């Protein structure tokens, strides 16, 4: 870990964040996930679809860890409207740019909690004729899960039901650039 990373981590942890997963833990697990995916998808037409914005950091590191030819695409969805909780009613703000029919798809998320949005997104994508659709998520927060049947095929870490930021996850657009996952001690001052 570089001196600037240590300083940055210390600045944030001394304020309102507590490190839950270190930069090194994340790097190691992402490499493992990449190797698992490469082994499972050899000789397949793989498309990795990132759900914006939170998945972008995880997805960038993950695709570099998958030693296979692949293509990438992105989707942006909203299920929160102006509320703090997901309604489960998914609005597609940005759709994939290429058809997925006949391809093997991995949907990449930053975190899965209630599962409502991702469950609906999987239904939408499932109607488009892909050979297979799997989920890769950096974080799984199973405690608030409403959609229990949702399977995370490639899971980085299971975490407790706490508000987390960093490595792509944010609060009010902030903290996405942190190299670690931190628990927000007091969300009201985040």
pTM of the model: 0.87
pLDDT top residue among 49 and 123: 49
User: Among all residues, which ones are annotated catalytic?
Assistant: 113
Look at residue 110 in the predicted model and tell me its pLDDT. 96
CATH topology for the 7-171 domain: Rossmann fold (3.40.50)
The span from the CA of 67 to the CA of 12, in Å, is 34
Look at residue 10 in the predicted model and tell me its pLDDT. 44
187, HSE (Cβ side, Cα atoms, 13 Å): 9
Look at residue 112 in the predicted model and tell me its pLDDT. 93
Return the structure tokens found at 137: 């998520």
| Contact call for residues 151 and 118 (beta carbons, < 8 A) | no
What does the pLDDT average to over 39-58? 96
The domain spans of the chain are: 7-171
Mean pLDDT of the chain: 87
Look at residue 81 in the predicted model and tell me its pLDDT. 53
Quick: pLDDT tens for 80-115.
554 445 555 778 899 999 999 999 999 999 999 888
Look at residue 120 in the predicted model and tell me its pLDDT. 87
> How far is the CA of 122 from the CAs of 53, 66, 165, in angstroms?
17, 22, 25
- Per DSSP, 80 falls in state -
Residue with tokens 């405690």: 143
The span from the CA of 31 to the CA of 141, in Å, is 21
Residue 30 scores a pLDDT above 50: yes
């Amino acid at each position: 870990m570089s001196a600037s990373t240590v300083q940055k981590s210390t600045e944030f942890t001394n304020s309102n964040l507590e490190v839950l997963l270190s930069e090194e833990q994340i790097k190691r697990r992402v490499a493992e996930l990449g190797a698992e995916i490469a082994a499972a998808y050899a000789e397949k037409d793989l498309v990795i679809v990132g759900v914006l914005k939170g998945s972008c950091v995880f997805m960038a590191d993950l695709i570099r860890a998958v030693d296979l030819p692949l293509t990438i695409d992105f989707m942006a969805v909203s299920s929160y409207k102006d509320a703090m909780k997901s309604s489960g009613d998914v609005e597609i703000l940005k759709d994939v740019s290429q058809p997925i029919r006949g391809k093997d798809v991995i949907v990449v998320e930053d975190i899965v909690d209630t599962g409502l949005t991702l469950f609906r997104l999987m239904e939408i994508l499932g109607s488009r004729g892909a050979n297979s659709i799997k989920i890769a998520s950096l974080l799984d927060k199973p405690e608030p899960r409403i959609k229990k049947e949702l399977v995370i095929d490639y899971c980085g870490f299971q975490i407790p039901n706490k508000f987390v930021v960093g490595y792509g996850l944010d609060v009010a657009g902030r903290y996405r650039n942190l190299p670690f996952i931190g628990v927000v001690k007091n969300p009201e001052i985040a």
